[in-house]
Structure 1
Amino acid sequence: MKRFVLPALFLAACSQQTPQDEVANAPETKLPATNTPAPEAPLNPPAPGEPGGLPDDRTPVLESPIDPKSAQGAGQVLQTYFALAEQGKSADANKLWSEGAEKLDLSKYREIHANIGAPGGMEGAAGSSYVDYTVQLYGRLKDGKEFKSRGTMTLRRVNDVPGSTEEQRKWHIYKADFA
């Protein structure tokens, strides 16, 4: 009896399909198409000194405490503005503009970044101080297209004059001119 059991087991083993055979003999199935967009290229703004980049100013940044009334204090307002814009907090960002100023339309950007240059000279007129900053914007529009722009943003604060409020004596973005 032992003779017949071994050949029968051998034949049974040969007729069973292995998982590899099942995959090879399975009918071809097509995977559903995915709508995953191709990865986007990294954003690379022009470097300082290149066309569209910030001026190639190698003046070191001050590392001492910043006087909030100084031009560097105005620069901190711009840094805060663009940090909020990058986070999609446009309502909070817009609070940093002067009352009645024509604000940047942040709603057209899917992703926005800024490089902020050194301050220009501080000027005064009619009880207020003004300072200009060169700003390089880059990122992606809502449709995914990359953009780069360079312009000037002007900040304004009311000087410490009688009758001025604490809020008026803070730097606010007064205007933006971008190409």
Structure 2
Amino acid sequence: MRVVAALPLLLIVACAPQTDTNINNDVDIDAAAERAQSSINAYRPDTPLPANDPVGPPPSTDPMPSPTPTPNGSVPDGLEEPLAPPPPGAPGGLPDDRTPISEAPAAPDSAQGAAKVVERYYALIGERKFKPAWQMWRGGGAGSRLTPADFADSFSEFSEYHANIGAPGRVDAGAGQRFVTVPVQIYARLKRTRKPYYQIGSVTLQRSDVDGGTAAQKTWHIQQVALKPVQKR
């Protein structure tokens, strides 16, 4: 910037009309031009500017933030592994049952009606509505062998909880009772590590089929949930 300002100054000195006879006429134009050229040659655009140079960028006072460490090997928000349960037929997946399911409304006392109960049960858990889910067990919740509070606490380690429901088995009869087993696949996320968690297993449902039974007794209730963890590869 100082060099560019020097050149016009030299031209003004060389070309200005002489109105004062006292001005020194012995200006060495060649020497002035040589000095200006020397200043140009001495300029290096890649030379670092001093910290107080007004045309240079201000020094950075805001260093790049370091990633916040996460305890216990947890995964930072936004970087979670997506939930991807194994597909049907694969290890850890539901049975690959390709039998078409009727689109007609399922009778409440049918096997498909039992599968609908399982769907509702896990939907309630996924919505964190634990008490109505607990009440879907036999005996109004007593069949779970847990109090409502303990039942809710059994899901406290998960930030989200979902289930895929497979095709129900056949309805079995015995001593005025009806039983059916429904395959289930759990895919959830652990709160502590934010990592996926998978389980596979089944839900067994029971209902009464005796004459004179109440409507509640003839409704499918959960009798047993049998699940085992799956290590997804």
2:85 match: 45
Instruction: Give me the whole-angstrom Cα distance separating, in 1, the residues matched to 2:195 and 2:60.
Output: 42
List runs of 5+ in structure 2 lacking aligned partners. Answer: 1-53, 69-75, 229-233
Q: Given the alignment, which residue of 105, 111, 135 partners 2:160?
A: 111
Q: Given the alignment, which residue of 132, 138, 143 partners 1:101?
A: 143
Q: Aligned in 2, Cα 1:59/1:29: closer, same or farther, shift over 3 Å? A: same
Amino acid at match of 1:147: Y
Q: Aligned in 2, Cα 1:158/1:37: closer, same or farther, shift over 3 Å? A: same
Q: Aligned in 2, Cα 1:55/1:28: closer, same or farther, shift over 3 Å? A: same
Q: Given the alignment, which residue of 56, 61, 66 partners 1:28?
A: 61
Aligned ranges 1:7-22 → 2 under 5 Å:
none
Q: Deviations over 1:19-47 (max 9, x none)?
A: xx799315512476675634212110000
Aligned ranges 1:1-179 → 2 under 5 Å:
24-30=57-63, 37-99=77-139, 100-102=142-144, 105-143=154-192, 144-162=194-212, 164-179=213-228
Q: Deviations over 1:6-63 (max 9, x none)?
A: xxxxxxxxxxxxxxx7993155124766756342121100000000101111011210
- Match of 2:181, SS state, is strand
- Match of 1:118, SS state, is coil
Percent identity, aligned pairs only, is 39
Instruction: Give me the whole-angstrom Cα distance separating, in 2, the residues matched to 1:134 and 1:83.
Output: 15
| Greater per-residue strand proportion | 1
Q: Deviations over 1:64-119 (max 9, x none)?
A: 01100101111110111111111111222112111222267323322111111111
List runs of 5+ in structure 1 lacking aligned partners. Answer: 1-20
2:29 match: none
Alignment root-mean-square deviation, CA: 2.3
